[in-house]
Structure 1
């Protein structure tokens, strides 16, 4: 039965098109009737020698002025009242929307469900009448900003061929008491009217959490998500760092939201509300039925099913009122996540097809590198990256972007714009040593990570930094991965201690990042012996671990072990730190392969120097003399 229902859709025959054609013909017939009546009146007036329009009676101009004044005052009052209760939505006709589902890239996991929702919307009458199902009335799009929620909703309206009523939830809010509820009623009234007039309509409420927060009487603890290790990390000499922390979600208490949420709940159950004509006819039938016996009662009109699909978008779905999330209101929840490597590659192809670029960027290998380097980026971020690359190309006097322009734009987006700072010679050498320690440890202990940027140029709050990322897209991290992150964070601290005999204030943010990662190992992932998870309590993970004496000792053990391991590692590889330090002092910034080239060259030279005494001894042994001779 489902295949029989879907197959006509593929051929273009669906309930929405039939309904729209029926409504179009009805409007044509009504217009023709009005024109015929007007023409009959003109002909009758001509035959009877009467004026087509009645003549206005003579009136005193002073009286007319007074009437106009009071009418204007009354009109102002009425318009003020109506204006505060008017629906703030915008209507887009299908032909005004220039995007289709094929243009929405990077949402492959949800695109099939979106297409299925369109199919059900287009065959809502057959799905209900022939199959006995209840059509979907509401879809909730949740996900990070810039993942394509609004674009997908517009594409759905264009694919379905119905008007798209867009409204921002904040536009419902008003300074007048009760006006917010009136605006919500006006919006749903417009949605029903448009659906009946056009054969269907899709409504979209942007950022619905602005008017649908959890009511105070229905509070509940939302489940806390398990934080995962960050795949992209930054080790800096100064300033705050992104790191690992336990996340908890508190229920939102907002006074005055109860009435607004209640109105929204009622309206979402009122899609099939009778029209004004139906109400009048039913009222008349009810009056007649009062005079009739029970077995002769007249049947009242049933409200027609309005073909409406309401879509709402939010990035705070856990704060919405639970009554909104039940079936019958928002029947389907679709999560828009950041695209994976295949989705990002498709996005790169899609955006580059519309932007001027050099022929070299048509190389699949370079496009794969761009997709791999933007792990965790949303479609909007990828598009913005290529726009910034065009800006870089324009600055150097070209009209086509190159791969170097894309890389420069990515580095700027990732670590910020470089700020010129005049360091003292000693301070510059200290910062270079610190960052070289981070990079050396990362190269030695984490071969599965890509070294992206090593700089002593100030960016944001960081006087210098190392940016590194996973070589491949991964969703989980092992105990070794987290230990490596702790060791990389310790690299700068240990390098300062080895080369200067003391440390500065630079490693403060590194120690904070190492503490957060170690707290993840101790208090959430069960990697240090204890299986107790502090994510089970509604509290910050790091604070919970530090407050527990046994867990704090385990945390200290992880950090001490990492520091000892890094100290042994850098003591054996001082030449690598020195090589990177000297390269940073000379060039101030190393990008990607430039970092590994310095390290590999230094390692090769060290191996050659170590091999010379062995070679000399071997030669001396063959000729029967000592190495000194």
Structure 2
């Protein structure tokens, strides 16, 4: 006896589920167990079967036509009528002219998106490394997308329709959106927000409508669709900003009104479209119009119910680097239901990135050592995934320059040095300038060694890189998220080290410390005006102004800022006067080698301390 089977158990549906099954199984087992279904996969199978049936009906109709024409002895295709060329040429000319005009109008309002099919996207969520909390939330959003109909019908919830990805450039926003489309197994409609903009008034709003129309049409035809708008802030800036910048003249008012109408109209159109996913189709409109006419003649209790718009499985993703500039109406639930922040990865995330990228790049045995990979992850504090990948690519370039086919740990360090401080530029310093610059940079390094044992001295150089004639690159030994008063004071003192070293060894200072004093002023302003570390508890950051100008504009705060800087100068002067031998040792090493990296700096300092007989607490480095 035949047994009726659920269509969801067919091999085709099982295959269609494959794209999203892994995310569905890994992300939220409780949600999967509760909802249990794959609405998108079932809808795609239903649409596939409908297309097959339509194709068969078309083939049968064509075959019936051919057979009937042959049985009656008539030609399969009717003969074309004869047309006088003198009539055809003018007609074709005007048809072509009309076609150009129509295509020009259509082209200005056509959606500028590009469609990617799931098999065209070569990334998956497993390739998104270093931002595990974001990936986990993305998987949950995919679960809701897959089971949107059950979530709404059985649980009464509203499926997520919009996700906003915000964060610095290179943190994986676009990559994650592509991976979501591939995992979901549905078409991916990519568009850049700037491509919506047009020189014709009103054309931008038309393009936005066309994009959302294409998104709904694709979702109905394919069982689901994911849209992605890159840099959405190009068309979704806060509507009050431009109008507020206009002032009193009549011409300014007209310009402001035009700008406001254009910008406000675009944002308003975007707001409307974000809530219009379930618009009725053309067939529904025709049917409802006919039913409406019929219902006029029927009593209220006999009227035929109108068709309701189908729930379209659409997920819209937007990415921006400036979420704080977006119109607030965009960010409420119902438009963008979820905001995901993409931050640079932490140490564990960077280590995972290093492992992921090295697995695809040629490297020698020095980079197979876990400690070497840990050092790369620790040395890239604050770097984004794109920056880490670029670092390893530059290391491969360095390997090619020395004639090797695989990068080494030394190549990675060389590439990191170039990324950190730039390419070295040979400059013919005079002997006096060379000695002055070496003394200046040695003063920075000596102060950092003495007052900040929790910092790593990375590069000390008198080779010109960028605009810097010399520099000290230093960073935290471990990843930190907050700083104490001692930490900030140490940063001020390190910035003062070069200025004080010039004063001690040469009796006067030069223009070299100008950037150091600016850095010391900014750090001291944070202590005085934002962190409450210098006497006052008033936060100038609460005013919304830039911190340094706000602090300098207040007489009392300016006096406190001056006190912090003077105290730091006095402390550094006393410190370097007691440890001149450290400055001299580093200066001589720089004059000899021009550049010291990592342990080369600390080796010089430790040798100078041993020779001088310093008895100090051992450093944490």
The TM-score with structure 1 as length reference comes to 0.90
Aligned to 1:125: 149
Counterpart selection for 1:583 from 584, 589, 605: 589
- Structure 2: distance between partners of 1:564 and 1:17: 72
Matched, 1:389 2:395: yes
Report the Cα offset of residue 7 of structure 1: 2.3
Matched, 1:17 2:23: no
Report the Cα offset of residue 257 of structure 1: 1.0
Counterpart selection for 2:287 from 260, 278, 281: 281
Matched, 1:74 2:101: no
Counterpart selection for 1:188 from 212, 218, 222: 212
Counterpart selection for 2:494 from 488, 493, 503: 488
Q: Deviations over 1:193-223 (max 9, x none)?
A: 1111111110000000000000028999xxx
- Structure 2: distance between partners of 1:254 and 1:604: 71
Report the Cα offset of residue 538 of structure 1: 2.1
Aligned to 1:403: 409
Runs (5+) with no aligned partner, structure 1? 221-252, 611-629
Quick check: 2:232–2:319 contact (8 Å CA) kept in 1?
yes
Aligned to 2:12: none
Quick check: 1:358–1:400 contact (8 Å CA) kept in 2?
yes
Matched, 1:601 2:615: no
Aligned to 1:552: 558
Asked which structure has the greater RCO (Cα within 8 Å, sep 6+), the reply is 1
**Cα gap change, 1:210/1:125 in structure 2, threshold over 3 Å: closer, same or farther?**
same
Runs (5+) with no aligned partner, structure 2? 1-27, 245-258, 617-621
Aligned to 1:150: 174
Aligned to 1:7: 33
Quick check: 1:191–1:203 contact (8 Å CA) kept in 2?
yes
**Cα gap change, 1:120/1:403 in structure 2, threshold over 3 Å: closer, same or farther?**
same
* Secondary structure, aligned partner of 2:613: helix
Report the Cα offset of residue 3 of structure 1: 6.3
* Secondary structure, aligned partner of 1:323: helix
Matched, 1:84 2:108: yes
Quick check: 2:233–2:322 contact (8 Å CA) kept in 1?
yes
Aligned to 1:272: 278
Matched, 1:340 2:333: no
Report the count of equivalent residues: 575
- Structure 2: distance between partners of 1:59 and 1:73: 20
Aligned to 1:317: 323
RMSD of Structure 2 on Structure 1 (CA) = 1.7
Aligned to 1:97: 121
Quick check: 1:5–1:123 contact (8 Å CA) kept in 2?
no
Counterpart selection for 2:534 from 520, 524, 528: 528
* Secondary structure, aligned partner of 2:456: strand
Report the Cα offset of residue 443 of structure 1: 0.6
For 1:609-624, what aligned pairs fall within 5 Å after superposition? none
Quick check: 1:351–1:383 contact (8 Å CA) kept in 2?
yes
Quick check: 2:242–2:260 contact (8 Å CA) kept in 1?
no
Q: Deviations over 1:133-161 (max 9, x none)?
A: 11000000000100000110111111111
- Structure 1: distance between partners of 2:136 and 2:504: 57
- Structure 1: distance between partners of 2:138 and 2:422: 37
**Cα gap change, 1:195/1:443 in structure 2, threshold over 3 Å: closer, same or farther?**
same
Aligned to 2:136: 112
The TM-score with structure 2 as length reference comes to 0.91
- Structure 2: distance between partners of 1:269 and 1:254: 22
**Cα gap change, 1:550/1:217 in structure 2, threshold over 3 Å: closer, same or farther?**
closer
**Cα gap change, 1:458/1:210 in structure 2, threshold over 3 Å: closer, same or farther?**
same
**Cα gap change, 1:476/1:32 in structure 2, threshold over 3 Å: closer, same or farther?**
same
For 1:163-174, what aligned pairs fall within 5 Å after superposition? 163-174=187-198
Quick check: 1:213–1:254 contact (8 Å CA) kept in 2?
no
**Cα gap change, 1:541/1:608 in structure 2, threshold over 3 Å: closer, same or farther?**
closer
- Structure 2: distance between partners of 1:322 and 1:168: 21
Report the Cα offset of residue 255 of structure 1: 6.7
Counterpart selection for 1:412 from 418, 421, 442: 418
* Secondary structure, aligned partner of 1:177: coil
Counterpart selection for 2:379 from 359, 365, 373: 373
Quick check: 2:331–2:337 contact (8 Å CA) kept in 1?
yes
